[in-house]
Amino acid sequence: MHTGRRGRGESRVLLRFADVNLPPNAVIRSATLLIRVEASVGLNLRGNYLLAKWDAEAEALGWVFRDAENRWNAPGASGEGSDWIAGKSFTMGGFVSAGEHELSIPLDVAVVQHWVREPDANRGMLLSNPVAEEPLFIYSSRNADTSKRPALEIEWTVPPVVSVLQPSQGAVISGRFMVEAEPQAGVAVATVQFFIDQEPLGQEVTELPYRTDLDTTRLQNGEHTITAHLRNPKGNVAISAPVVFTTSPFSWLL
């Protein structure tokens, strides 16, 4: 985290979480920036997602020069669409009291998702105080009190490596039924094994389509749970989300 000062408060702050350590296939549900600031009058804060790589010591896009020839009039990037992503920003304001504020700022999910899938695209954020007359101090990542350092909270999930296609969740089936699983695209598959109520169903399936015949007359009528276990060529096993279905002695014709 780097800071550019104007007067007695920060004018612009560069904030970057260098290691957004999530699986590459993680799906971001929400992302929240947690920062603590101190305002002498009120609070005005603007945030932009950077496109260009920032180096505080560099002569180009750093604190000293805008580019190789032009100095900054004030510290910080200012080019929408070149320095920061156009059309994506966040603002915080409306605080009328001076003192310390703990801010919880929702971030753009698509931007954070891009950081995870392409780490080189993570240039960080530019936080700026647009009102020079209202000094704003932002507690940095070097603060001695770790509870006051900026934090990034991400809620995420990982798509299942394999999913049960048939039966569907909540289905009512009877007689003979073909159960089927589908691996995630790009996943290497050695075998797929189905389990009913944690007991293996049939033999391992070694090629597409990953299907096995189920004779429901061998099951008690009522609810059952099916999962698909995928084993990759290295021997690692992934288990699908469970699907609950119901067996019935009747087959309804609609």
Q: How far apart are CA 58 and CA 53, in angstroms?
A: 10
Quote the percentage of the chain above a pLDDT of 70.
79
Q: Which residue has the higher pLDDT, 211 or 76?
A: 211
The predicted model gives 241-252 an average pLDDT of: 82
pLDDT tens-place string over residues 57-86: 666 666 666 666 666 655 556 678 878 899
CA distances from 49 to 14, 29, 124 (A): 10, 18, 6
The predicted model gives 214-218 an average pLDDT of: 94
In terms of C-beta distances under 8 Å and separation of at least 24 residues, what long-range contacts does 181-184 make, across chains too? 181/210, 181/211, 181/228, 181/230, 181/240, 182/210, 183/210, 183/230, 184/25, 184/159, 184/160
Determine which of 23-37, 106-120, 200-214, 217-231 has the lowest per-residue pLDDT on average.
23-37
Instruction: Specify the residue for token string 């009039």.
Output: 73
Q: Which has the closest alpha carbon to 84: 22, 14, 3, 137? A: 14
Write down the pTM of the prediction: 0.63
Q: Residue 228: how many CB atoms within 10 A of its CB?
A: 29
pLDDT tens-place string over residues 35-60: 998 877 667 788 999 887 777 666 66
Confidence of residue 5 (pLDDT cuts 50, 70, 90): very low
pLDDT tens-place string over residues 107-119: 999 999 999 888 8
Token pair in block for residue 115 = 């950081």
CA distances from 85 to 11, 77, 78, 92, 165 (A): 20, 11, 11, 18, 39
Confidence of residue 4 (pLDDT cuts 50, 70, 90): very low
Q: How many CA atoms lie within 13 A of 137 on its CB side?
A: 12
Mean pLDDT over the full length of the chain: 83
Please give the pLDDT value at position 169.
96
Q: Which residues does residue 37 pair with via DSSP β-bridges, in sequence order?
A: 101, 138
Q: Which residue has the higher pLDDT, 252 or 187?
A: 187
pLDDT tens-place string over residues 114-160: 998 888 899 899 888 766 666 678 888 888 899 899 999 999 987 77
Quote the percentage of the chain above a pLDDT of 90.
43
Q: How far apart are CA 188 and CA 231, in angstroms?
A: 9
Please give the pLDDT value at position 253.
45
